[in-house]
Amino acid sequence: MITAHVLSAKNWLSCLRPGDAITLISAAILVVFLFLNFWTNTRADRAIVRQGGELIAEFGLNNTRRVEVRGPIGITIIEIAAGRARVLSDSGPRQYCVQQGWLERANAVAICAPNQVSLLLAGSASGNRHDSLSY
């Protein structure tokens, strides 16, 4: 008896009212919009390195390089290579920022909190609309 009640779709849907459809459709549209807005692939084109909230440097992602940042508990090494960047090593105890591995997308961020170092990838919102310009 109870099983039949629980399995009956009609029973479950009986509390739905006409306006609920409006709510559900609007909510679904909002979810789709949020995915399109925040998850469409904006490629990162530069890495922003901060220490203690201060901007240390901004690097393009095209050139391979290693950057050493000195913080209160030691040195954090950031590696930039071929359109991506990572925290190569950090003196923090938990190594969260190192374990994040390579960051590739715009707005991706790795924070080494103990050493107050953050690595943020930035990209223009327009992404790679132009791959070349000529006059």
Partner 1 sequence: MTASATESATLILRPSADDHRIAAYAAAAIAITIAEAALPSPLPGVKPGLANIIVLVVLLRHGWKDAVWVSLLRVVAASLMGGTFLAPGFVMSLAGALCSLGVLGLSCRLPAAWFGPVSHSVLAAFAHIGGQILVARLWLVPHDGVFYLLPLFALAALLFGVVNGLLAGQILQGDAAVTLDGVLSAPTGTTTGEMELSK
DSSP one-letter string for 11-63: HHHTT--HHHHHHHHHHHHHHHHHHHHHHS-PBP-EEEEEETTEEEEEEESSS
Q: 3-state DSSP call for residue 103?
A: strand
Q: Which of residues 32-71 bind partner 1 (CB under 8 A)?
A: 34-35, 37-39
> Does 3 contact partner 1 by CB under 8 A?
no
**Residue 98 in contact with residue 79, Cβ under 8 Å?**
no
Q: Of 11, 62, 99, 124, which lies in the binding site for partner 1, with binding defined by CB under 8 A?
A: 11
Binding segment (CB under 8 A) for partner 1, from list 6-14, 59-67, 78-86, 91-99: 6-14
The smaller minimum CB distance to partner 1, of residues 53 and 93, is found at 53
According to the binding rule CB under 8 A, does residue 113 interact with partner 1? Answer: no
| Nearer to partner 1 among residue 22 and residue 75 (C-beta) | 22
Residue of 49, 108, 112, 117 interacting with partner 1 (CB under 8 A): 108
Task: Return d(Cα 68, Cα 117) in angstroms, integer.
Answer: 11
Q: What is the three-class DSSP state of 6?
A: helix
Nearer to partner 1, 68 or 99 (CB): 99
Question: Is residue 46 classed exposed, middle or buried when 0-12, 13-18 and 19+ CB atoms within 10 A define those classes?
Answer: middle
Among 3, 14, 63, 132, binds partner 1 (CB under 8 A): 14
DSSP class of 95:
-
Site of interaction with partner 1 (CB under 8 A):
11-20, 22-24, 27-28, 30-31, 34-35, 37-39, 107-109, 120
